[in-house]
Amino acid sequence: MPHASSAMKTVRRYLPILEWGRSYDGQTFSSDLMAAMIVTIMLIPQSLAYALLAGLPAEMGLYASILPLVAYAIFGTSRALAVGPVAVVSLMTAAAVGAIAEAGTMGYATAAITLAFLSGLMLLALGLLRLGFLANFLSHPVIAGFITASGILIATSQLKHILGVPAHGEALPDLLISLLTHIGQTNPYTLAIGLAALAFLFWVRKGLKPLLLRTGLRPRMAELLARAGPVAAVAVSILLTWGLGLEAKGVAIVGAVPQGLPPFSLPSLDPGLLRELLVPALLISIIGFVESVSVARTLAAKRRQRIVPDQELIGLGASNVAAAFSGGYPVTGGFARSVVNFDAGAETPAAGAFTALGILIAALVLTPLLYFLPNAVLAATIIVAVLSLVDLSILKRAWSYSHVDFAAVAATILLTLVFGVEIGVSAGVALSVGLHLYKTSRPHVAEVGLVPGTQHFRNIRRHDVETHPSLLTIRIDESLYFANAAFLQDLVMDRVVCDQPIRHVVLMCSAVNEIDLSALETLEEINHRLGEMDIRLHLSEVKGPVMDRLKRSHFLDQLTGEVFLAQYDAFRRLTGPQGPARIDPVAAGA
Amino acid sequence: MPHASSAMKTVRRYLPILEWGRSYDGQTFSSDLMAAMIVTIMLIPQSLAYALLAGLPAEMGLYASILPLVAYAIFGTSRALAVGPVAVVSLMTAAAVGAIAEAGTMGYATAAITLAFLSGLMLLALGLLRLGFLANFLSHPVIAGFITASGILIATSQLKHILGVPAHGEALPDLLISLLTHIGQTNPYTLAIGLAALAFLFWVRKGLKPLLLRTGLRPRMAELLARAGPVAAVAVSILLTWGLGLEAKGVAIVGAVPQGLPPFSLPSLDPGLLRELLVPALLISIIGFVESVSVARTLAAKRRQRIVPDQELIGLGASNVAAAFSGGYPVTGGFARSVVNFDAGAETPAAGAFTALGILIAALVLTPLLYFLPNAVLAATIIVAVLSLVDLSILKRAWSYSHVDFAAVAATILLTLVFGVEIGVSAGVALSVGLHLYKTSRPHVAEVGLVPGTQHFRNIRRHDVETHPSLLTIRIDESLYFANAAFLQDLVMDRVVCDQPIRHVVLMCSAVNEIDLSALETLEEINHRLGEMDIRLHLSEVKGPVMDRLKRSHFLDQLTGEVFLAQYDAFRRLTGPQGPARIDPVAAGA
């Protein structure tokens, strides 16, 4: 039954769980469970903190770490990706939703849920239509610049919690002005807790692991204990705040976090809201996908496994839809968390489902304990986590490699800092695409001649080569398409207008991988104009697929000259021993 | 004084009139004057008609044909371009201004003047910044589709004047519904005049010239007389309308056209209006520039002259600014008009200035005679002129050449017809760029082997070639950049994960014209991952400029394999007679 088996293949493609689930055994189970426990410990403070960053109640961070993880376990292809709330997407959520509703209101939470829903639908649609390639339009410099600038923005936005002052603003200038305006109202207790937590967490990150190693602990255990540092900070700060009654002294705390299962929630279907969230949802989808797929790709390669980008879109889409229906907000695969999951031995996506179970238990049992957790400690967790995202060395690397790439990084960083995440990333994409088109619209073009004694042709400006006054040979080092067609036309026409003895123009197409319709029409125009000037146009070294396509047009019938397989043949024929081949006036279309 | 001469050179670049003005003589003067007279006769009815199309008073068409032409004569580089109101730009003006103000109001005219001003400033800025290449992002299929759809829209929009009914709408569905709703109110006198004018103008276009030739007239004279057809239609219809008192029978007429010099006008500086006109002004600027520069390029080539696209931007920018200050509206170089100017013997831009003088005389003297001119006759002039723009054969040509190009044309035509000019052309540009990126994001890649007995390498799927189980050679037929970097990575990793004996991967870069920073980082990642799998990465046939850039990064230090000048060297070395070269496990960065 080939029909049934092809249907089965389709089902398997969309449900990777059927593939890895079949060989699931006790050994894999215990590996996954171990990894899940460690990721859970890491995720509890992170999920609370990122919800705070997104301007949402802490419990929404927990909810976003339950059902979405189960959905990814069913539909995702990466064996190690740990899905949940992440810093950059939380910041983008705050920016998108903050433009629509006041933080802390019901409308704000509904907008965040709706954003997750829209983003989920978009990811699913992109996956089903196999449009994962769209994410490739974000160039590395733009992503690097965007992540760095987001890290700076996030860290700055959390300073208000460390100082215990109100402050707001989506971009750096607003944030700084707002912070400076309120700095006189700094709460000393909050500041003390915040700075202590920051110092402790930085030390945990840099100093704890070497210390543990010196006590004889195994490296892997030391690494994992160091990852649990934030949990220790959370526990100690809760005890201190409760014991010293710091709430009464103005230290902002998380407060009552509802205890229980994630609620059933529904996205809003208000057309106005949906329209306003459309662009932010698209940007969040793409940024989330790009971040997620790049860590998934890296981890898969380490074990000679593979991921399927289009199926990853479906996995992340399902996660976000699940988030929307269970009181969560936009999620994606987190970098640090996935690396921990991988290092802790996760072998299948089931580890994610077990993590979800761990967070569920936390939501059912631990939430009353979080009442006295100071916001300043969560802010410190975020700051320490995001400062690892800030990497200004990309500026130096880009500068030394290519000024065009440097322009893209610098502009993305600057625009993100000054105008916020949405304008920053949109401008970055536009700039990447624009600069790429600009580069290819002025392709490298060389006038070439014969290297004496060989059949090779080289740039006449770089090499001592043979040429002939009646023959102009131009090698184009780029595919010919709409953006560079006019450039070629101007170049050829300028050259023949200035140099009267030319009777033959050969376009050497060895590096031309494509000729689109615009370029074809331009070649027809060049052929026609040269014909009017009594000059023949020839092509040489045209690639197979390009030639196949040219044969489908009328260009080759109109061509005043010939198509030569090798440039050497063209040179020999057109500058034969009897001197420049005279041609009759060509009336080609004139 | 090198300083003074370089300053002089700059002045000359920006003022082409200094170049051609020096050799101006009596012979050139008489040629230019002759051409100007003929263009004037053609331009008078056109300028009135296009103002009507733009929803503006008829005299604004005349005003747009005076100072703008003088400005272009000073700053433009084309010797034959005839500037003034044109059909497509008039339609775009109507679409842009119609969204803001009611036709016939003072606000409407002010908005049109402001649009010319903004468009002029943009063109000037693009020219001074040398951004003329931006126009290249409009691919030929998109322009062809847009012009064709605009022609259909314009012709349809003029049917209301032929029928003598009110109708409005920016896109085809609205227009048709509006026409059908009012068709019962058709004025029989208007319809009779309109149909008669249409029939006469079509006959003039097709039948008059052969007739005149048969009477023994010289071909050039016959051609020019045929071009004066619309003037005859205008004159006869004025006499008939006046003589038969058709105004009283409901035939819409042009009415009182002010007599005199173009007025001094000022664009509005209202920030709200300027913001609303920003995008339309940009689209008008680009479409106008593209249309204009393509006809200028064609005509220049016919006489072995050249145009300077960036200076053309300045010429057109100056024209539009001049239009804004003299009661005009957006102008550009017209196709048919420029061809007539060229054929009539115009030798320098002075012909344009003489045409301006002709129109000025018309504005001073002829306007009272236009009172009884029926709008239906102007509409007929427009319909006959724009139907020559409609060329649906582009659909067939695009389909047979490339389905991607076909998609761009079809979508542009459809979107322009259904949603109007602004959405149509924006979507067309986005689609061209998107499809181009899509194509290059999945480049042609071939696994190659050695053609026995030669040093050539060919696709293993197309040719019978030698390969070696430990060696994978991939030839990439595209530059490596952000949009296709991930594609390459997935391809290489999938290939080596599935094929265990591979020990060497060679990327053959003979068609790689550029490697951007994203692609470089991807190559580093591939190198690193392959290293972890004990596989070496090599490059072969890297072009000079690409190699220069790679040397500026650390990639070559990290590369686990070598860079071979020729693919044959790589093949020989890596599959030497002693069998596959064993390599030591490579710790490269692992």
Residues of chain A in contact with residue B137, where contact means CB-CB under 8 angstroms, are 437, 441, 482-483
Contact B401 A490 (CB under 8 A): no
Classify strands B83-84 and B332-333 as parallel, antiparallel or unpaired: antiparallel
- Contact between A431 and A411 under an 8 Å Cβ cutoff? The reply is yes
* Shortest distance, CA A332 to any CA of chain B (angstroms): 19
Closest of A472, A538, A532, A458 to residue A501, by C-alpha: A472
Query: A542 to each of A36, A510, B236, how far by Cα in Å?
Result: 57, 6, 59
Compare CB distances from A486 to B136, B497, B514 and report the shortest one's residue. Answer: B136
- Contact between A538 and A562 under an 8 Å Cβ cutoff? The reply is yes
- The DSSP-derived string for B288-326 is HHHHHHHHHHHHHHHTT----HHHHHHHHHHHHHHHHHT
- Contact between B112 and B264 under an 8 Å Cβ cutoff? The reply is no
Spell out the residues 6+ positions from residue A289 whose beta carbon is closer than 8 angstroms to its own: A123, A126, A132, A135, A312, A313, A316, A332
* Shortest distance, CA B151 to any CA of chain A (angstroms): 21
Q: Is the pTM of this model over 0.90?
A: no
Contact B133 A487 (CB under 8 A): yes
Residues of chain A in contact with residue B412, where contact means CB-CB under 8 angstroms, are none
Contact A133 B525 (CB under 8 A): no
Residues of chain B in contact with residue A137, where contact means CB-CB under 8 angstroms, are 437, 441, 482-483
A525 phi/psi in degrees, rounded to 5: -65, -45
Contact A140 B441 (CB under 8 A): no
Query: A321 to each of A325, A353, B179, B571, how far by Cα in Å?
Result: 7, 16, 46, 51
* Shortest distance, CA B565 to any CA of chain A (angstroms): 14
pLDDT tens-digit series, residues B461-517: 878 888 888 999 999 888 898 888 888 888 898 888 887 789 999 999 988 888 988
The ipTM is 0.76
What is the per-residue burial (b if ≥16 Cβ within 10 Å, else e) of B520-555? Answer: bbbbbbbbbbbbbbebbbbbbbbbeebeebbeebeb
Contact B490 A309 (CB under 8 A): yes
* Shortest distance, CA B141 to any CA of chain A (angstroms): 7
**Cα distance between residue A229 and residue A200, in whole Å:** 8
Residues of chain A in contact with residue B446, where contact means CB-CB under 8 angstroms, are none
Residues of chain A in contact with residue B458, where contact means CB-CB under 8 angstroms, are none
Classify strands B83-84 and B445-450 as parallel, antiparallel or unpaired: unpaired
| Residue found under tokens 């339609």 | B91
Contact B517 A140 (CB under 8 A): yes
**Cα distance between residue A509 and residue B471, in whole Å:** 29
Res B131: pLDDT: 83
**Cα distance between residue A63 and residue A41, in whole Å:** 15
| A577 exposure class (CB count in 10 Å sphere: 0-12, 13-18, 19+) | exposed
Residues of chain A in contact with residue B482, where contact means CB-CB under 8 angstroms, are 136-140, 432, 436
Residues of chain B in contact with residue A525, where contact means CB-CB under 8 angstroms, are 298
| Residue found under tokens 């990852």 | A227
Contact B442 A133 (CB under 8 A): yes
* Shortest distance, CA B257 to any CA of chain A (angstroms): 43
Contact B513 A441 (CB under 8 A): no
**Cα distance between residue B79 and residue B347, in whole Å:** 6
Residues of chain A in contact with residue B436, where contact means CB-CB under 8 angstroms, are 437, 481-483, 516
Res A57: pLDDT: 92
Enter the tokens of residue A337.
């968390």
Q: SS3 for B457?
A: strand
Find the residue in A nearest to B513 (Cα): A477
The length of chain B is: 590
Spell out the residues 6+ positions from residue B361 whose beta carbon is closer than 8 angstroms to its own: none
Contact B525 A298 (CB under 8 A): yes
Contact A137 B485 (CB under 8 A): no
Enter the tokens of residue A70.
């189960």
- Render each residue's pLDDT in chain A as its tens digit; 590 residues: 455 577 777 887 788 888 788 888 888 898 899 889 888 988 998 999 999 999 999 999 999 999 999 999 999 989 889 999 999 999 999 999 988 888 778 889 999 999 999 999 999 999 998 887 777 777 888 888 888 999 999 999 999 999 988 888 778 998 899 899 998 889 999 999 999 999 999 888 888 888 888 888 887 777 777 777 888 888 999 999 999 988 889 899 988 888 888 889 999 888 889 988 998 999 999 999 988 988 888 888 778 777 888 899 999 999 999 999 999 999 999 888 898 888 888 889 999 999 999 999 999 998 898 899 999 999 998 898 888 888 888 898 888 888 888 988 999 999 999 988 888 888 888 888 888 888 778 888 889 998 888 877 888 887 888 888 899 999 988 889 888 888 888 889 888 888 778 999 999 998 888 898 889 989 998 999 899 889 999 999 888 888 988 998 889 999 999 999 888 889 999 987 544 333 333 333 33
Contact A513 B309 (CB under 8 A): no
**Cα distance between residue B53 and residue B66, in whole Å:** 19
Residues of chain A in contact with residue B487, where contact means CB-CB under 8 angstroms, are 133, 136
Contact B440 A479 (CB under 8 A): yes
* Shortest distance, CA B466 to any CA of chain A (angstroms): 21
Contact B301 A529 (CB under 8 A): yes
Closest of B295, B510, B138 to residue A477, by C-alpha: B510
**Cα distance between residue B69 and residue B39, in whole Å:** 12
Enter the tokens of residue A331.
């999620």
Contact B438 A521 (CB under 8 A): no
Find the residue in A nearest to B144 (Cα): A518
Residues of chain B in contact with residue A308, where contact means CB-CB under 8 angstroms, are none
Contact B483 A543 (CB under 8 A): no
Adjacent-strand bridge partners of B515: B480
Find the residue in B nearest to A527 (Cα): B301
**Count of CB atoms within 10 A of residue A219's CB?**
10
Find the residue in A nearest to B478 (Cα): A513
Contact A482 B139 (CB under 8 A): yes
Q: What is the DSSP letter of B430?
A: H
Find the residue in A nearest to B488 (Cα): A136
**Cα distance between residue A57 and residue A327, in whole Å:** 11
- Contact between B299 and B81 under an 8 Å Cβ cutoff? The reply is yes
pLDDT tens-digit series, residues B392-414: 888 988 888 888 889 889 999 99
Compare CB distances from B484 to A136, A514, A516 and report the shortest one's residue. Answer: A136
Spell out the residues 6+ positions from residue B477 whose beta carbon is closer than 8 angstroms to its own: A513, A543, B443, B444, B445, B446, B511
CATH code for the part of the protein at B445-574:
3.30.750.24
Residues of chain B in contact with residue A141, where contact means CB-CB under 8 angstroms, are 517-518
Closest of B526, B553, B521 to residue A396, by C-alpha: B553
Closest of B147, B123, B423 to residue B281, by C-alpha: B123
* Shortest distance, CA B401 to any CA of chain A (angstroms): 6
**Count of CB atoms within 10 A of residue A5's CB?**
9
CATH 3.30.750.24 domain span(s) along chain B: 445-574
* Shortest distance, CA B90 to any CA of chain A (angstroms): 26
**Cα distance between residue A68 and residue A73, in whole Å:** 9
Query: CB pairs below 8 Å between A and B: how many?
Result: 174
Compare CB distances from A301 to B142, B521, B529 and report the shortest one's residue. Answer: B529
Helix axes of A482-498 and B421-441: crossing angle, nearest 10 degrees: 90
Radius of gyration of chain B (CA): 31
Chain A interface mutation, best of B426, B479, B533, highest count of A Cβ atoms under 10 Å: B479
- Render each residue's pLDDT in chain B as its tens digit; 590 residues: 455 577 777 887 788 888 788 888 888 898 899 889 888 988 998 999 999 999 999 999 999 999 999 999 999 999 889 999 999 999 999 999 988 888 778 889 999 999 999 999 999 999 998 887 777 777 888 888 888 999 999 999 999 999 988 888 778 998 899 999 998 889 999 999 999 999 999 888 888 888 888 888 887 777 777 777 888 899 999 999 999 988 889 899 988 888 888 889 999 888 889 988 998 999 999 999 988 988 888 888 778 777 888 899 999 999 999 999 999 999 999 888 898 888 888 889 999 999 999 999 999 998 898 899 999 999 998 898 888 888 888 898 888 888 888 988 999 999 999 988 888 888 888 888 888 888 778 888 889 999 888 777 888 887 888 888 899 999 988 889 888 888 888 889 888 888 778 999 999 998 888 898 889 989 998 999 899 889 999 999 888 888 988 998 889 999 999 999 888 889 999 987 544 333 333 333 33
* Shortest distance, CA A448 to any CA of chain B (angstroms): 15
Helix axes of B335-343 and B350-361: crossing angle, nearest 10 degrees: 110
Q: How far is CA B543 from the centre of its chain?
A: 34
Closest of A513, A488, A137, A514 to residue B433, by C-alpha: A137
